[in-house]
Chain A
Amino acid sequence: TQLLEQSPQFLSIQEGENLTVYCNSSSVFSSLQWYRQEPGEGPVLLVTVVTGGEVKKLKRLTFQFGDARKDSSLHITAAQPGDTGLYLCAGKKNRDDKIIFGKGTRLHILP
């Protein structure tokens, strides 16, 4: 059972367009993290959200944690080719739980 479902699996859009990717679960998570991974490299942390309803912005990236802490979204405004990569969400259900990763959304921005 995949506890963190990410959608879509793949997304290819033109430079300048907006997009949203999702990380959903039927379980409540105490916190979620988003990572970006480029080919041949390890994941790099983008943000951590810990409070239901929390919104964090990182330049053109907007992250939201659902009110019920069961889901999260990543919105990119005016996508650029440098945004291309695999976006992973990761979370933990309880304080002492191990980290769970979603399968990721592979994003490709066409110039």
Chain B
Amino acid sequence: NAGVTQTPKFRVLKTGQSMTLLCAQDMNHEYMYWYRQDPGMGLRLIHYSVGEGTTAKGEVPDGYNVSRLKKQNFLLGLESAAPSQTSVYFCASSREFWSRGDSNQPQHFGDGTRLSIL
């Protein structure tokens, strides 16, 4: 059982380039999330999805776009990369939407994508 798989694991971009980070989960989870983790900042929610075909903004959505065309995949796009977007990006999925109700269901995280923008 692979769980949550993120590709690529590492990437270096030049300012202004675009790229897409792919997240795939094989647990049939409805809910998926993209976070960025920066030193001294903790995990911050970028965008999330409550089901196939739906997306919503999180805490720090500017400069990113997402798509959830298939239930198992959640894509994070950077249209014009900036040095401020250098970070480690984590995708997560959950069976229940943890922000609704007193759910004890965990978010399952991938191993992250380390992205550097020069």
Asked if chains A and B come from one complex, the reply is: yes
Q: Which A residues are closer than 8 A to B by beta carbons?
A: 2, 30-31, 33, 40-45, 48, 50, 88, 90, 92, 95-99, 101-104
Residue on A nearest B44 in the bound complex, by CB: A101
Q: Bound complex: CA of A98 vs CA of B43, how far in Å?
A: 12
Binds A, one of B11-19, B74-82, B103-111: B103-111
Closest to B39 in A: A103
Q: Which of B40, B44, B90 contacts A42 (CB 8 A)?
A: B90
A101 proximity list for chain B (CB < 8 A): 35, 42-44
**A-contacting residues, B41-56, CB 8 Å:** 41-45, 48
The reply to whether A98 and B45 form a contact with Cβ atoms under 8 Å apart is yes
In the A-B complex, the 6 residue pairs with the closest CB atoms: A42-B109, A45-B106, A103-B42, A101-B43, A48-B104, A101-B42
* Interfacial chain B residues near A31, Cβ < 8 Å: 102
Are A97 and B99 within 8 A (Cβ)?
yes
Contacts of A104 in B (CB 8 A): 42
Residues of B within 8 A of A50 (CB): 102, 104
Q: Are A99 and B99 in contact (CB-based, < 8 A)?
A: yes
Greatest chain A CB density within 10 A among B41, B45, B107, B111 is at B107
Return A107 CB to nearest CB of chain B, in Å. 15
Q: How far is the CB of B7 from chain A (nearest CB, A)?
A: 14
The interface bits of chain B over 75-104 (1 if a CB of A lies within 8 angstroms of the residue's CB, else 0) are 000000000000000101000001111101
Q: Apart from A50-B102, A50-B104, list 11 A-B contacts with CB within 8 A.
A: A41-B112, A42-B4, A42-B92, A43-B43, A43-B90, A48-B106, A88-B43, A92-B99, A97-B99, A98-B99, A103-B41
